[in-house]
Structure 1
């Protein structure tokens, strides 16, 4: 893989600062995957988070790990509606307030609640309607403040959400209205540079209902066999180490690709932190629309 492929990602994440913890890699090709070596980094990340102030903040806060939008029942009626949603092409035919409501409340199914800021109907709509093209559109005819249930770092929770009435649908399109808690500073620095041995994950796609199967999205290039992920499980957290399989030395196109990797855990994820060995941070939710969950905006 060419260094520039992942360099663009790392520059966007601001990860070129910080001390290397997996060896001294140069700007060229780094060392091949070494499970023992990456295992050392994974253990460092796990130990740094266990019992840390950052872990306490994460467990006490509201960090959504689910898509910010829930579609109406029966969506979509046709390909035109589907295309309109995918291109974020909406048409507004009702006034929406730009004034945010009073504080809202997140309530966890397992107990506990938290007061959170709530966005205005106008702000929530503008996050949905970013498309500006002459193609088909979804028509919004009204909005009211309600709730929706989604996954968070503390399990399922009921959160404030705007319910948008969409022409042609009997149930509303819901969009999260609750502002997330501030992400805690990680207790460990990221690895300084990417290599075949270790590179950052793109995000968390899903966790199965029983908590045993985790689907992650990982990056790779055009001259390899795709990404793979090693796992370190402890009672407090789960650390994922992403690496690249079967890299070849032939001419490569300069592009950054991604692929889903399914990981089976020894026991349910539960309330354990899901961490990225490269970044030293919790793995962000990977939205199907290509944008992070609200915590990671």
Structure 2
């Protein structure tokens, strides 16, 4: 179950990025693998204008990939993609249906929640045209409001349920409400549909607005052969990031590098060749690689070296 969701998270991240490009480009040939860990220098009060953390025993970072990271950082500054990032709604979770904090006791109810198997009332509910996402600093994003049925059409609702028939919950009442949601710009208040279900006092909640689509930077160079991964959640006070990588066959992770400035972080990944003695598997597998930062991430943006998009750090996979 966890492995399937991790793979789904990686593929969804790639598909989301490819669906909203500033310029039309073909999808990547495949997701390549990347690094395990980079050491971190002694933290300093202020970060230099740019620095690169390299693997043990290495005195110089990789040439072509480092140059790509520098070009990516330069292209990001002042771009339309950066402006969208500062004004759009990017939730830091792929989870869109929220259940009670204590969870459910029965397998039927747990499955219904996990796989979005909810039967809505036949009566139509009034749906306003738009809803607002509001941040503590007063900034707002006005977005189209989804009707309850559309809001429940998550990619996870199409996942294969382990039971046949799968568990289901009957929704007895629907109302528009709000709830806090962690986003790329901090915690925001978002509109949700509260769904009261038969046999339960605490309603479920599903996001009533869709996330903004991240965009490619214009004129991004070809990504063929560039390690590609989905960056996972790390606390803003921590000096590390983790990436979910898809390895094919006998590929192995190698130590990676981190290019960072005061505003952005770029992870530079490496993989070992697929051929090695005694290895005959052709199966794909997911591996989590760790990267050390020169200082805590803070509010800096993580940029994807392959796709040239900002990364929406996802904390829901750990739950």
TM-score (norm 2): 0.69
Partner in structure 2 of residue 22 of structure 1: none
Displacement of 1:208: 1.4
The answer to whether the 8 A contact 2:92-2:313 is kept is yes
Question: Can you give the 5+ residue segments of structure 1 that lack an aligned partner in the other structure?
Answer: 1-8, 18-32, 290-297
Displacement of 1:277: 0.7
Residue 76 in 1 paired to residue 104 in 2? yes
Residue 115 in 1 paired to residue 142 in 2? yes
Q: Which of 69, 73, 81 is equivalent to 1:46?
A: 73
The answer to whether the 8 A contact 2:228-2:306 is kept is yes
Displacement of 1:113: 1.3
Q: CA RMSD in A?
A: 3.3
Partner in structure 2 of residue 15 of structure 1: 27
Partner in structure 2 of residue 134 of structure 1: 165
Question: Can you give the 5+ residue segments of structure 2 that lack an aligned partner in the other structure?
Answer: 1-10, 19-25, 30-57
Q: How many pairs does the alignment contain?
A: 261
The answer to whether the 8 A contact 1:220-1:256 is kept is yes
Query: What are the superposed Cα offsets for residues 209-238 of structure 1, whole Å, 9 maximum, x if unpaired?
Result: 535443321121231344654321111211
Displacement of 1:96: 5.4
Which aligned pairs between 1:1-297 and structure 2 lie closer than 5 A? Answer: 13=18, 14-16=26-28, 35-37=61-63, 38-66=65-93, 67-86=95-114, 88=115, 90-92=117-119, 94-95=121-122, 97=124, 100-127=127-154, 129-130=157-158, 133-194=164-225, 198-201=226-229, 203-208=230-235, 210=237, 212-226=239-253, 229-245=256-272, 247-250=274-277, 251-284=279-312
Q: Are residues 209 and 233 of structure 1, via their aligned partners in 2, closer, same or farther at CA, if it must alter by over 3 Å?
A: closer
Partner in structure 1 of residue 50 of structure 2: none
Distance 1:279 1:255 in 2: 24
Q: Are residues 269 and 167 of structure 1, via their aligned partners in 2, closer, same or farther at CA, if it must alter by over 3 Å?
A: farther
Distance 2:283 2:206 in 1: 33
Q: Are residues 188 and 256 of structure 1, via their aligned partners in 2, closer, same or farther at CA, if it must alter by over 3 Å?
A: farther
Distance 2:123 2:216 in 1: 36
Q: Secondary structure at the match of 1:100?
A: coil
RCO comparison, higher one (Cα < 8 Å, 6+): 2
Q: Secondary structure at the match of 1:207?
A: coil
